[in-house]
Structure 1
Amino acid sequence: MDTHNLYLETILKYSYGVIALNQDKTIQLINPVIGKILQISDESVFVGQSYDSIIENYENLKPLFSFIEEKIDQELTEWSGEIELMLKDRHRLIYCQGATLDVENRNLGYVIIINDISKLHRAQKKAAWGEVAVRMAHEIKNPLTPILLSAQRLRNLFLDKLDSKDSEIINKTTKTIIDQVASMDSMVSAFSDYANTPEIKKVSASLNALVNKAASLYDNQAGVRIDLDLSGDLPKLQLDKDAISRVLINLIKNSIESKKKKTSLNIVIKSRIVKDEGIVRLTIIDNGNSFPTNILDQVFEPYVTTKPKGGGLGLAIVQNIVEQHDGQIYASNVEPHGARVTIEFSIITSQRS
């Protein structure tokens, strides 16, 4: 039994979440990492609880504990799986692995190991989409130049030589071709930007100063009001100023484009230091159109867009830049209507950079 307890005490020190259950499937031990992964302020309240009591108080954790219960009831010695959880309006992908503690054919309980693989999952998807973007950019770019040159040649050859009616037709059709080529060329550039995000160059910078500068670009935007609520005690962060400015401008522009017709738009940008979490949090909130609920957990994925003519790469590039800064970005809706984008930068990471 001493060996058993030593084993449990050792694994509880791991950098991923660990839960130890006794034979009755009641939580016996739990490590602090579980609290961080499952967004629980005091994970110790789980000790001594059963599945049912946990699910009763934490409905959002039901998929996880139902999965654990199912695997234990199947009497498997080892098992694993991925579970999606909604934690504080954020979709998280959790990897769960379990094993029976069996000593001399006696079941002493179960050990459950939990890890948040959301970032890894996004990185894998990003790599796959990056490869698609490179191929698409290559396949689209090749024919654009000859198409453009052909349209320009038609204009040069016939525009001034035909009668007014035919000349007007040539003018309209070739202009349409040239405009569409320019649009596709812009889309190709977006593909390339997503697939080949430039390496960032971090310097010590004030996030508030970058917010002020980005917001000032929209001072005279009709029907739009931007209120800044910026904390004066933010530490300087290690940021690529150009890249973060691009993020801020993109997000403000998205908010403005969500403006409802014949209404004014209010945008509130807040910055706060959250000392107990070791982060600086920036939120951009507007009272425009909300994110469609069916794509809320996908808004940062490539080619997902709410705009009729959107390419769906703007927010994907924004997420790339934030993650290059070891930050995290989330989207959520606000009541009765509106959207919120939250960015979190690690203070510790910034100070070490």
Structure 2
Amino acid sequence: MQELIKHFNQMSRQIKTSREGLDTHNLYLETILKYSYGVIGLDQKRRIQLINPVIGKMLNINNEKKFIGKLCGTISAKYNYLKPLFELTADKFKQNLGEWEEQIELSLPNKHILLTCQGTALDTQDKTLGYVIIIKDISQLHRAQKKAAWGEVAIRMAHEIKNPLTPILLSAQRLRNKFLDALKGKDLEIIDKTTHTIIEQVKSMDTMVSAFAEYANTPQIERRPCDLNTIIYQSAELYNAQSNVSIEFDLSGDIPELLLDANSISRVLINLVKNSTESAEDEHNLVVKIVSQYLESEGIVRLSIQDDGHGFDGDVIDRVFEPYVTTKVKGSGLGMAIVQNIIEQHDGRIFAGNVEPHGAIVTIEFDYKA
């Protein structure tokens, strides 16, 4: 009897240890599912059996659990922007590759993202039980790599272009000083016009070179507790003086103080409002609406600048924050890239899109923890 009790106690301890190990393992898996990569689990018929909150946040899905039990094709039909993702995974699993990895770009309703997707089939005894898809948003990493590459290009361009500008400018000014008083008639007109054109073009190129240098060497910010609404008023109110532009403010009174570099954020706002007002050249009574919100449940302060102008050109909307992308005749294409740099220095996010029936919207989000 004592021997039996001894074995029973030993078995109980082993069961307890196994349960503790299983609980630890489950907790570890739950933590991965909650905080790390996006994970989707499918059954044999490619119905979703598991989807974690990371997927919901990554793909702008409210209550991602509503997808559980549904076929990927059914979801694609309702959420068209997810179609490329599910078509890719279906194609890979049909090829019976076992494990695969692929990058894919998705155009969500308010942003453009780059994802890396890894998939594997859950096989046992020549039978497929289901599939697992692991997804990571690498948009920020991709942007950082492109920014570094463009930064090197900008430094080289600034150096190569700026060197000859000063002697060209001085030569044009010297020609004016020497010949404007000595010439008359047609010759005077030609010298005056050509040297003036050279000087103006050199100044324009110098401005562009300065923008290159500024993009390549974005200054470090100094963040202090700030009232975002005050910065908005002070930055945008200046444009209310324009006869064909009306600035409307819808600023929430419960916006908490944020750690911001006030000068940098002011510069962002001025740039964005300026972009909107420039679309009013052929418009009458353009309206620019600035909205601030505190989404406490999401831990986000959201700022949006919306206008009822022409909106972003369809050819550039997915690349609007890339360096040297512009539809303006005299634009350097660096304004929005610098704006994005400043927002990312604040650990924020910025998105651009168009609104119906016409107009553009830029949305900025800052994380806030009470």
Question: Which of 45, 57, 72 is equivalent to 2:93?
Answer: 72
The answer to whether the Cα contact below 8 Å between 2:56 and 2:64 also exists between their aligned partners in 1 is yes
The answer to whether the Cα contact below 8 Å between 1:265 and 1:288 also exists between their aligned partners in 2 is yes
Matched residue of 1:233: which SS? coil
The answer to whether the Cα contact below 8 Å between 1:18 and 1:30 also exists between their aligned partners in 2 is yes
Separation in structure 1 between the aligned mates of residue 232 and residue 206 of structure 2, nearest angstrom: 30
* Cα distance change on mapping 1:87 and 1:276 into 2, 3 Å: farther
1:238-249 mapped onto 2 (5 Å cutoff): 238-249=259-270
Which residue in the other structure is 1:270 paired with? 291
Question: Which of 303, 306, 309 is equivalent to 2:330?
Answer: 309
Separation in structure 1 between the aligned mates of residue 35 and residue 299 of structure 2, nearest angstrom: 20
Confirm whether residue 338 of structure 1 aligns to residue 359 of structure 2.
yes
Question: Which of 207, 211, 224 is equivalent to 2:245?
Answer: 224
Q: Residues 71-114 of structure 1: CA distance to partner in whole angstroms, max 9, x if unpaired?
A: 11111121011122222232221211012234565543222101
Letter of the 2:82 counterpart = L
1:1-353 mapped onto 2 (5 Å cutoff): 11-13=32-34, 15-103=36-124, 107-261=128-282, 263-348=284-369
The answer to whether the Cα contact below 8 Å between 1:8 and 1:20 also exists between their aligned partners in 2 is no
- Give 1:285 deviation, angstroms: 1.1
Separation in structure 2 between the aligned mates of residue 94 and residue 258 of structure 1, nearest angstrom: 33
Letter of the 1:337 counterpart = H
- Give 1:40 deviation, angstroms: 1.2
- Give 1:168 deviation, angstroms: 2.8
Q: How many residues are paired up?
A: 347
Letter of the 1:138 counterpart = H
Letter of the 1:115 counterpart = K
The answer to whether the Cα contact below 8 Å between 2:324 and 2:334 also exists between their aligned partners in 1 is yes
- Give 1:9 deviation, angstroms: 5.4
Letter of the 2:164 counterpart = P
Separation in structure 1 between the aligned mates of residue 187 and residue 281 of structure 2, nearest angstrom: 42
Separation in structure 1 between the aligned mates of residue 158 and residue 122 of structure 2, nearest angstrom: 53
Matched residue of 1:89: which SS? coil
Matched residue of 1:326: which SS? coil
- Give 1:222 deviation, angstroms: 1.8
The answer to whether the Cα contact below 8 Å between 1:204 and 1:238 also exists between their aligned partners in 2 is yes
Separation in structure 2 between the aligned mates of residue 14 and residue 341 of structure 1, nearest angstrom: 28
The answer to whether the Cα contact below 8 Å between 1:55 and 1:62 also exists between their aligned partners in 2 is yes
The answer to whether the Cα contact below 8 Å between 1:260 and 1:289 also exists between their aligned partners in 2 is no
More displaced, 262-271 or 156-165? 156-165
- Give 1:260 deviation, angstroms: 4.7
Separation in structure 2 between the aligned mates of residue 25 and residue 226 of structure 1, nearest angstrom: 50
Letter of the 2:44 counterpart = Q
- Give 1:144 deviation, angstroms: 0.3
The answer to whether the Cα contact below 8 Å between 1:267 and 1:285 also exists between their aligned partners in 2 is yes
* Cα distance change on mapping 1:102 and 1:14 into 2, 3 Å: farther
Letter of the 1:129 counterpart = W
Separation in structure 1 between the aligned mates of residue 32 and residue 253 of structure 2, nearest angstrom: 42
- Give 1:8 deviation, angstroms: 6.4
The answer to whether the Cα contact below 8 Å between 2:283 and 2:309 also exists between their aligned partners in 1 is no
What TM-score do you get using the length of structure 2 for normalisation?
Answer: 0.88
More displaced, 191-200 or 22-31? 22-31
The answer to whether the Cα contact below 8 Å between 2:105 and 2:112 also exists between their aligned partners in 1 is yes
- Give 1:43 deviation, angstroms: 1.4
* Cα distance change on mapping 1:314 and 1:9 into 2, 3 Å: closer
- Give 1:175 deviation, angstroms: 1.3
Letter of the 2:67 counterpart = F
In our comparison, the structure showing a higher alpha carbon Rg is: 2
Superposed CA RMSD: 2.1
Identity %: 61
Note the residue ranges of structure 1 that are not aligned, 5 or more in a row. none
- Give 1:254 deviation, angstroms: 0.8
Letter of the 2:72 counterpart = Y
Matched residue of 1:217: which SS? helix
Matched residue of 2:103: which SS? strand
Q: Residues 279-335 of structure 1: CA distance to partner in whole angstroms, max 9, x if unpaired?
A: 111111111221112211111111111212111111111111111111111111122
Letter of the 2:234 counterpart = K
* Cα distance change on mapping 1:50 and 1:324 into 2, 3 Å: same
